[in-house]
């Protein structure tokens, strides 16, 4: 049996294709393909890409605000003052902070008491609440700002204002 020699190996063909793609469109064309579609992007990288583009597709539009939700809020009891929060900070009842089940740590949220219209802006630094039917736990200071201390709980509206990542409220 006569064996024919292979002139090109598979790796050599792959290198030739890569060089051809890079030189035929220039480096800008090849990298532009990678920035617009890369199946290897994970969800963290995808959340950093612009989600909304203008009609021309050139400039990202800034989204005015994130989704709004309503539900019942409560506040931390003073007994947790000085304990560690889920993000590693020490809980200080005098700071404007809150616990939310799913918003990223560092997200700023406007909390409005629907009974009296008072609002406060808090930073998410903990997880909770762990009571069914509640969507946020406020620090004592934040609860005082919106008149939540006497009643203990109140119906509130949440609006996530900013975050390092996309902020979607799931209560």
pLDDT digits (tens, 9 = 90+) for 137-148: 999 999 999 999
Q: What does each C-alpha distance from 169 to 13, 108, 118, 134 come to in angstroms?
A: 50, 12, 20, 13
Residue 142 CB contacts under 8 Å (≥ 6 apart), including other chains: 75, 96, 97, 98, 111, 120, 122
Give the Cα separation of 144 and 59 in Å (integer): 42
Q: What average pLDDT is seen over the chain?
A: 74
3-state percent helix, strand, coil for the chain, nearest multiple of 5: 25, 25, 50
The pLDDT of residue 78: 82
Q: Is the dihedral of CA 117, 159, 101, 106 positive or negative?
A: negative
Residue-wise pLDDT tens digits, 63-80: 444 678 999 999 987 888
Distance CA 142, CA 132 (A): 21
Strand 108-113 versus strand 153-162 pairing type: antiparallel
Length of the chain: 171
pLDDT confidence of residue 9: 67
pLDDT of residue 23: 56
Averaged pLDDT for residues 105-115:
96
CATH class as words, domain 68-162: mainly beta
- State percent of the chain over pLDDT 70: 58
Residues 92-109: what's their mean pLDDT?
Answer: 94
The winner for highest mean pLDDT among 35-44, 75-84, 114-123 is: 114-123
Residue 79's pLDDT is: 84
pTM for the predicted model, two decimal places: 0.59
Return d(Cα 83, Cα 99) in angstroms, integer: 13
Average pLDDT (4-24) is 64
The predicted structure's pLDDT at residue 98: 96
The pLDDT, as a whole number, for residue 163 is 65
Stronger pLDDT, 136 or 27, i.e. the higher one: 136
């Amino acid at each position: 049996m006569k064996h024919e020699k292979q002139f090109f190996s598979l790796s050599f063909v792959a290198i030739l294709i890569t060089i051809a793609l890079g030189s035929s469109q220039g480096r800008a064309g090849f990298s532009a393909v990678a920035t617009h579609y890369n199946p290897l992007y994970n969800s963290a990288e995808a959340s950093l890409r612009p989600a909304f583009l203008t009609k021309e597709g050139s400039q990202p539009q800034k989204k005015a605000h994130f989704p709004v939700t309503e539900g019942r809020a409560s506040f931390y009891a003073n007994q947790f003052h000085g304990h560690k929060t889920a993000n590693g900070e020490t809980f200080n009842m005098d700071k404007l902070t809150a616990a939310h089940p799913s918003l990223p740590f560092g997200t700023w949220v406007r909390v409005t008491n629907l009974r009296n219209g008072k609002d406060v802006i808090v930073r998410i630094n903990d997880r909770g609440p762990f009571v069914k039917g509640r969507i946020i736990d406020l620090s004592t200071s934040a609860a005082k700002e919106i008149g939540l201390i006497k009643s203990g709980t109140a119906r509130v509206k949440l609006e996530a204002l900013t975050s390092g990542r996309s902020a979607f409220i799931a209560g």
